[in-house]
Structure 1
């Protein structure tokens, strides 16, 4: 699978990355064996970039990804996790569905964007993963902690990078404004933008993506299916982690009609779309089964006729100024 380098870091990521939230029990439980088989299927498909976070299932995703990767040569893959939420023991019982995860609520999250909190979060993640290093560290959702994130958390990341503890640093959020500030005001290598650069919405094109391109930095795209709406647009489908509004659902249904007129699944167009912009290095796809991994690989490899994008423009479903991809995602080399 083709790879691209994150900014000037020298860290290579496969164009298709594995997002760990789903095997952390996002919305519904995933068994241990199924989670392991899903990561194995991603490896067999050529995916060598794996992303996780303490938030995903209260550390469950980190433990599962670490267990699945531990026997692989450490230099053969790239791993990212996130900081900003420290996990602490909790007295509660039951599950974590209040935060979206079907996982035991034996821990609780505490926001911490202090320098000490960043270092503790990294150490805890390494313990859960059972690995000796993490390649890319991302500040996770600092929306309500903006000034502390820039004043305390970011310098801590920069120090970790200068010490060689990590090779690349950045931030991951569901918004583009603050990510743009990270690109323009700091020396991050990459940012992870979830849900803001998809077939349905392209807010990241206003400032984020041009800023990344100008600075020679990279953008990783998450949430490419907008919480599932662009895989199967139907009443009750999720958009931005909640039920899709009627107007948004109608647009997604019309998009599906347009792509399927060319024998192209909507999810294939959604998965391929972000690669129209040169600043995009990788697209993360969350999978909870081997079938979902195989499907994502197959959709990414489909050759989409240019008429798909032209028809979406004609119908007013895709603005004229938005760049679209051609061919299949390529890179400088391939990872074995």
Structure 2
């Protein structure tokens, strides 16, 4: 377990990302969702992440129901604020077009990083999850709401942490610029960076990861597979939730070929690369079934030969400043 920043909250090296439990892109049955969480627990996972955004609260409800079988003190739980849910009684259809989740559009998301909005959103999450406290709370995708997030949302989280309502606070985004600002200008314990530190995207090395190392801030990495391309590179695979450009598909196929030639898998290499940086406390992997969870856990512990990393570096596929799993941090 790794402690987040200087606070009391700890996370394991492999975390369970519960977006798929909210029916991301396609429906997942209640039993399948429950089995995925149960299997994660059996595989030793003790960090679970969700958000109101995921399935308009469905992910939180399902995750909370599955975790109710275990002592609250035995796992670390994170959720997010910034998208407040409101009833939408006159809405019809599903949420696929607007939110990407195959759920009825009976609620609507309201961007709200105000102090009141943060507290109201967190209280609703506690109810859906069925718990009395949440260990980590992230400001969720404040890209277009920077002023409100920094002036109201972050101070509200700071007060909640001081009151002992939450143990650790941070921000979760798909970009590095604003996350770096959170690291440099606030007292966050952790940031969740999705998709910007992978075998295909090293952009976090330019700003976020050095800043976190300097400040003693922890980083959780999400999107290690860049939403699918590094898990199964093939025509039609997705990269950052859209069809992968041909150039990136070719690079992913080449990486897979190199991994297989060295007797490992691209999935194992993708996870190992994310976990190797010294400021990375945990790697979150999304899964929608027990089989996917078992595969992720197996890949996370699959050895990746040093020769593979050396070849990637020799071909210029990895920047020289990227820590490799075979290297000891300085």
Contact 1:83 1:140 in 2 (8 A): yes
- What secondary structure does 1:188 align onto? coil
How large is the RMSD of aligned CA atoms in angstroms? 1.1
- Alignment partner of 1:6 out of 4, 7, 14: 4
After the TM superposition, which residues 184-203 of structure 1 pair with which residues of structure 2 at under 5 Å, given as runs? 184-203=184-203
- What secondary structure does 1:36 align onto? helix
Contact 2:13 2:282 in 1 (8 A): yes
Please name the residue that 1:251 is paired with. Answer: 251
In the alignment, is residue 47 of structure 1 matched against residue 45 of structure 2? yes
- Alignment partner of 2:65 out of 42, 64, 67: 67
Please name the residue that 1:94 is paired with. Answer: 93
Structure ranking higher on relative contact order (CA contacts 8 Å, 6+ apart)? 1
Contact 1:304 1:327 in 2 (8 A): no
In 2: Cα distance, 1:326 partner to 1:316 partner: 18
Please name the residue that 1:20 is paired with. Answer: 18
After the TM superposition, which residues 228-247 of structure 1 pair with which residues of structure 2 at under 5 Å, given as runs? 228-247=228-247
Instruction: Give 4+ residue runs of structure 1 displaced > 2 Å after superposition.
Output: none
In 1: Cα distance, 2:87 partner to 2:230 partner: 37
Kindly tell me the number of residue pairs found equivalent between the two proteins: 326
Please name the residue that 1:183 is paired with. Answer: 183
Closer, same or farther: CA 327–292 of 1 in aligned 2, 3 Å: farther
1:41 deviates by: 0.3
- What secondary structure does 1:323 align onto? coil
1:71 deviates by: 2.5
Contact 2:268 2:303 in 1 (8 A): no
After the TM superposition, which residues 255-294 of structure 1 pair with which residues of structure 2 at under 5 Å, given as runs? 255-294=255-294
1:44 deviates by: 0.4
Contact 1:303 1:327 in 2 (8 A): no
Normalising to structure 2: TM-score of the pair? 0.97
- What secondary structure does 1:288 align onto? coil
- What secondary structure does 1:17 align onto? strand
In 1: Cα distance, 2:217 partner to 2:211 partner: 8
TM-superposition CA deviations, 1:121-155 (whole Å, max 9, x none): 00010111111110000000000000110000000
TM-superposition CA deviations, 1:268-326 (whole Å, max 9, x none): 10011112210000000000000011001111111111011111122222222221112
Structure 2 residues not aligned, in runs of 5+: none
In the alignment, is residue 140 of structure 1 matched against residue 125 of structure 2? no
- What secondary structure does 1:144 align onto? coil
In 2: Cα distance, 1:189 partner to 1:51 partner: 16
Contact 1:274 1:324 in 2 (8 A): no
Please name the residue that 1:126 is paired with. Answer: 126
TM-superposition CA deviations, 1:45-95 (whole Å, max 9, x none): 010000000000000000000001112111100000000000011121222
Contact 1:169 1:190 in 2 (8 A): yes
In 2: Cα distance, 1:294 partner to 1:15 partner: 15
In 2: Cα distance, 1:325 partner to 1:176 partner: 22
In 1: Cα distance, 2:43 partner to 2:285 partner: 13
Normalising to structure 1: TM-score of the pair? 0.95
Structure 1 residues not aligned, in runs of 5+: 329-336
In the alignment, is residue 36 of structure 1 matched against residue 65 of structure 2? no
Larger deviation, residues 51-60 vs 300-309: 300-309
